Amino acid sequence: MSRSGASPQSPEIERLLALDKAHAWHPYTATIDRDPVYPVRAAQGCVLELMDGRRLIDGMASWWCVIHGYNHPVLNQAAREQLEQMAHVMFGGLTHAPAIELVERLVRITPEPLQQVFLCDSGSVAVEVAMKMALQYQQAIGERKRVRFLTVRSGYHGDTFHAMSVCDPVTGMHQLFNQVLPQQFFAPAPAPGFGEPCTEADIADIQRLIETHRDEIAAVILEPIVQGAGGMRFYSAEYLQRVRALCDEFGVLLIADEIATGFGRTGRLFACEHAGISPDIMTLGKALTGGYLTSAATLATEQVAETISRAKPGVFMHGPTFMGNPLACAIANASIDLLLEASPGSSGQGWQANIARIERALAAGLAPCRDLPGVAEVRVLGAIGVVEMTQPVAMRGIQRRFVERGVWVRPFGRLVYLMPPFVISDAELQGLTTAVGDVLSSAIASRRVNSASKRVCSCSGVCACPCWNS
């Protein structure tokens, strides 16, 4: 989508950007030598409108949560109707219809053994809740030494403290805190790709860790099928089946972190369904409210919930102030209904057919990137498309190039990826994938020119060096 009605920066835009630069600390940034930010005036469907008039097709669904697009009339109406009743009331000792209806929906659509729903307020907190549940469960059954967690490398589970401890300690974003984080067990990242079988050799390392440390491990925590911010890797459903079997064999709980994959992103309502397994505990977030408000949930089986409840202190020790927020719950109910009824923009098809449409378009549109030098792999699953480079991209320069092409794509590390809203049109998908190919081709060409001029990049990818920014 090209620039529409753009004009030089107005005094008002300059004023706002100056205030932002002076006081707003954006995620994963420094307060000096700041990355550029782009002020948004409005958003509709899959399009972000900047304050200078430029319009960008959103390929990120605002970090994967805006599955129904922006400014959706059904979700807007749900918010308005709930605001007329109450925006918030504490969930301690009180309840209300939006929360009751939401937990009923979540129990109905998630794998059957999950019967108890703990509402919370963000994905990272949902992971903290899940880990605390696992610890209290093991304490309740007398396994007091089971206080550590087993996970796999290349995983990401959030930025709060215990969640950081199960993110990849080497390639993740939390190396600075390694010496003060709880020390967990890490198996290699799952080797077999999605659709591939899982051999005994593929499962040997995680099996050895469970067997060796069975008396220390409270739970295994995994992102099922898709490892998100840790590398956008898609792995074998059979691997997940084998992990479930190992957990059962050694009395270890299985936590499925479905914060990024839940609500249809992989082509199944929940990624666990690809493997036909159910976890003991599941975390949900991101798309839960269609991106309108921060909200999350941690689900547990009756066995987990009752075991915790029958042991000292007789309660689960957690209680966020905004858990069960009525406004968030009302919008979440509307978002779930909207997804399951059909996805607008899919010509009346069901949501699965719509995700299949997006998958085909991403596969076809990103396929030419395979021929570009410096591209390691192109992979697509559901409404996720990934171009993995052999070297890190410099975010600052490549972000600017994407904005100039009229798209919002925010790469990280070696990954240029798309996770668009489900309401995206075929034309918008083509615009996104074409822009990815063109921007990467142009950036690679610039890199070659700069290299020939001996302006060689030695950065880690988060820089303003000439290789990607000229």
pLDDT digits (tens, 9 = 90+) for 277-288: 999 999 999 999
Helix, strand or coil, per DSSP, at residue 422:
coil
Give the length of the chain: 470
Task: Name the residue type at position 43.
Answer: A
Topology annotation, domain 74-339: Aspartate Aminotransferase; domain 2 (3.40.640)
Every domain of the chain and the residues it spans: 11-72+345-469, 74-339
Per-residue burial over 34-43, b = 16 or more CB atoms within 10 Å of its CB, e = otherwise: eeeeeeeeeb
DSSP-assigned states of every residue in 51-98: TTS-EEEESSHHHHT-TT-BS-HHHHHHHHHHHTT-S----SS---HH
> Which residues in the chain show pLDDT less than 70?
1-8, 342-349, 448-470
- Report CA dihedral (74, 75, 78, 79) to the nearest 10 degrees: -140
- The tokens for 363 are 């596969």
Tell me the whole-structure pTM to 2 decimals: 0.93
Longest dimension (CA), the chain: 71
The per-residue pLDDT for 152 is 98
Neighbours of 121 (CB within 10 A): 20
- Amino acid (one-letter) located at 400: R
pLDDT, one tens digit per residue, over 222-249 is: 999 999 999 999 999 999 999 999 999 9
Instruction: For residue 258, give the 3-state DSSP assignment.
Output: coil
DSSP helix/strand/coil, 260: coil
Radius of gyration of the chain (CA): 23
372: tokens are: 């570009």
Q: What is the DSSP letter of 300?
A: E
In this structure, how many other beta carbons lie within 10 angstroms of the beta carbon of residue 311? 14
- Asked if the domains 11-72+345-469 and 74-339 are classified in one and the same CATH topology, the answer is no
Q: 58, 229, 61, 242: which is closest to 157 by C-alpha? A: 229
429-462 pLDDT tens trace = 999 999 999 999 998 887 765 555 444 443 333 3
Q: Please answer whether residues 200 and 233 qualify as being in contact, where contact means their C-beta atoms are separated by less than 8 angstroms.
A: no
Hey, which residues are catalytic here? Answer: 28, 156, 257, 286
Options 3.40.1550.10, 3.40.50.300, 3.90.1150.10, 2.30.30.90; CATH of 11-72+345-469: 3.90.1150.10
pLDDT number for residue 176: 87
Whether 384 contacts 416, CB under 8 Å: no
Task: Indicate the pairing of strand 233-234 with strand 253-257.
Answer: unpaired
Tokens, residue 203: 């499962």
Percent of the chain with pLDDT over 90: 87
- CA nearest neighbour of 254 among 272, 236, 280: 280
Q: Say how far apart CA 362 and CA 355 lie, in whole Å.
A: 10
What are the backbone angles phi and psi of residue 238, rounded to the nearest 5°?
Answer: -65, -30
| Amino acid (1-letter code) at residue 279 | P
Tens-digit pLDDT profile for residues 138-193: 999 999 999 999 999 999 999 999 999 999 988 777 788 988 999 999 999 999 99
